[in-house]
Amino acid sequence: MDLVGEGARLLYVGKTAGYHSRTQEEIHELLLSFAEAGANVVRLKGGDPLVFGRGGEEMDFLQQQGIRVEVIPGITSASGIAAELGIPLTHRSVATSVRFLTGHSRNGGTDPLYVAGNAADPDTTLVVYMGLSTLPSLAPKLMNHGLPPDTPAVAVERGTTPQQRTVFALLKDLVDEVKSADLVSPTLIIIGKVVALSPFWAESSEHDMLKTENSYATEAR
Amino acid sequence: MDLVGEGARLLYVGKTAGYHSRTQEEIHELLLSFAEAGANVVRLKGGDPLVFGRGGEEMDFLQQQGIRVEVIPGITSASGIAAELGIPLTHRSVATSVRFLTGHSRNGGTDPLYVAGNAADPDTTLVVYMGLSTLPSLAPKLMNHGLPPDTPAVAVERGTTPQQRTVFALLKDLVDEVKSADLVSPTLIIIGKVVALSPFWAESSEHDMLKTENSYATEAR
């Protein structure tokens, strides 16, 4: 934000407690009205606008109104959190692919409809965005489709912020561990063998071997 | 590179024609020897080090030698190229997930062994890194596993550089179009319905309707 020019007008449209959150349609209209008034409009978003960021919708809307749009890529949560925890999302001979899913159910319910059997691939790292509420149905579904119950996993609340909290667990224990740690949104979930490559995984396993009743919730840094 | 301090010693270890390319093991040893000499070592890479970047291997090697490693995330090719072409990798109600694959065959041959039937999901955007040589076996395999032959796709040579060249085509035509455009590595391939949301897709379709014999290779910007 230090780079913002003095003459710029700043308008907050994000979702923080205490602020009235604007709908996507209101954001579209705001962008359009400023652009039509001749302004250079910067829509600043966290993460990458084209990965679960609704940047495509804003781009689409504005282009249909004849507004020229340029998209600057960003660091998506998966990359930021992987770097923070030292998890190589694709590690030679461990994972040949990485897949970013949305945990939002298509019908707004608790069933992650998008999870076909094809998501349960032991050679693919799964990263679930916004998946806290659908995790209780996702985890058993993945195991029913063949993902080993002892697949390493981690849930990360407010990743890459000073308030980051992480819960490392085997897939079969993840739902319970996340519940006892009381994680809240936004939480990103990473499931796959690569999670065990994090230096923090070893620490969490020591906790396990000591048979503490606590979850593996740890403060980052 | 403008941010590099005057006292820093710069050492090129990348892969550009004319330079002797170092092996991954040589890079490991270089990083270690400088770190052991007490230097702060910055290993600068293009893209994101933990997505097909072998950053995990370097991190792993150094940590085993007791060297403290911090990973700074980067913009992976998929995000950079998606932004450049205006392709929302996950677009509401078009793609519920995005998957990054490596096109490198596990055994070094031309068969992309990693492509199980589970990669052929019409609701998932596929991004293939380093997939030029295995594309001729990947494309039919995806179609055999149920991905519609008219799925939009794009191959991008040297994406986000001034030399960027793009080939837009339906999946069934992609191999031929890429061949006639003579694309070379590095080329990134994006396959999925979201590709048609790019403003450049419409342009390429017009070419199609004019029934030109040319490929859709276009210079970017």
Q: What CATH number is given to the structural domain containing A20?
A: 3.40.1010.10
Residue A207 pLDDT > 80:
no
Q: H-type helices in B126-188, by residue range? A: 135-144, 171-181
Q: How many domains does chain A have?
A: 2
pLDDT of amino acid A22? 84
Question: What is the separation of C-alpha A217 from the centre of its chain, rounded to a whole number of angstroms?
Answer: 18
Work out the pLDDT band at B104, boundaries 50, 70, 90.
confident
pLDDT tens-digit readout, B136-172: 989 999 999 889 999 999 999 999 999 999 999 999 9
Mean pLDDT across the stretch A20-48?
92
List the domain range (segments joined by +) for residue B84: 78-219
Q: What pLDDT is recorded for position A209?
A: 46
- Note whether B58 and B83 are same-domain residues: no
Alpha-helical segments (H) within A2-65: 24-36, 55-64
pLDDT score of B110 more than 80: no
Among A19, A44, A74, identify where a domain stops.
A74
Lowest mean pLDDT among A46-60, B11-25, B84-98: B11-25
* Nearest-neighbour CA in chain B from A81: distance (Å): 9
Same domain, A125 and A149: yes
Q: Residue B83 is part of a domain; what is its CATH number?
A: 3.30.950.10
pLDDT at A120: 84
Picking from B51, B74, B97, the residue at the C-terminal end of a domain is B74
Q: Which residues of A touch B54 (CB under 8 A)?
A: 92
Task: Give chain B positions within 8 Å (CB) of A100.
Answer: 90, 97-99
On whether both B136 and B152 belong to a single domain, the answer is yes
Distance CA A198, CA A63 (A): 42
- Give me the sheet containing B218-219, strands edge to edge: A218-219, A165-170, A152-157, A187-191, A124-129, A97-102, B97-102, B124-129, B187-191, B152-157, B165-170, B218-219
Say if the Cβ atoms of A100 and B96 lie within 8 Å.
no
Q: Which residues from chain A sit within 8 angstroms of residue B75, using beta carbons? A: 48, 73-75
Q: Do B97 and A99 touch (CB under 8 A)?
A: yes
What is the residue-averaged pLDDT of chain B?
Answer: 86
Using the 8-state DSSP alphabet, how is residue A194 labeled? G
Residues B128 and B111 placed together within one structural domain of the fold: yes
Provide the mean pLDDT of chain A. 86
Q: Which of A28, A51, A74 is the last residue of a domain?
A: A74
Do A138 and A32 belong to one domain? Answer: no
Tell whether A42 and A69 lie within a shared domain: yes
Tell me the mean pLDDT in the region B24-42. 94
Query: Which of A51, A57, A71 is closest, CB to CB, to B92?
Result: A57
What is the predicted pLDDT for the residue at B165?
97
Residues B92 and B46 in one domain: no
A183 lies in the same domain as A201: yes
The ipTM (two decimal places) reads 0.88
pLDDT digits (tens, 9 = 90+) for A85-118: 999 999 988 998 999 998 876 655 555 555 556 7
A177 and A196 together in one domain: yes
| Partner residue opposite B71 with nearest CB, options A55, A86, A96 | A86
Distance from CA of B196 to the nearest CA of A (A): 12
Same domain (yes/no): A52, A81? no
Sign of the alpha-carbon torsion through B103, B106, B108, B111: negative
Dist CA B190 CA B174 (whole Å): 11
Q: Report the pLDDT averaged over residues A142-149.
A: 92
Please indicate, yes or no, whether residues A9 and A91 belong to a single structural domain of this protein.
no
**Cβ contacts of B66 within 8 Å, gap of 6 or more:** none
Segment holding A124, helix H or strand E: strand A124-129
How many A-B residue pairs are in contact by the CB < 8 A criterion? 139
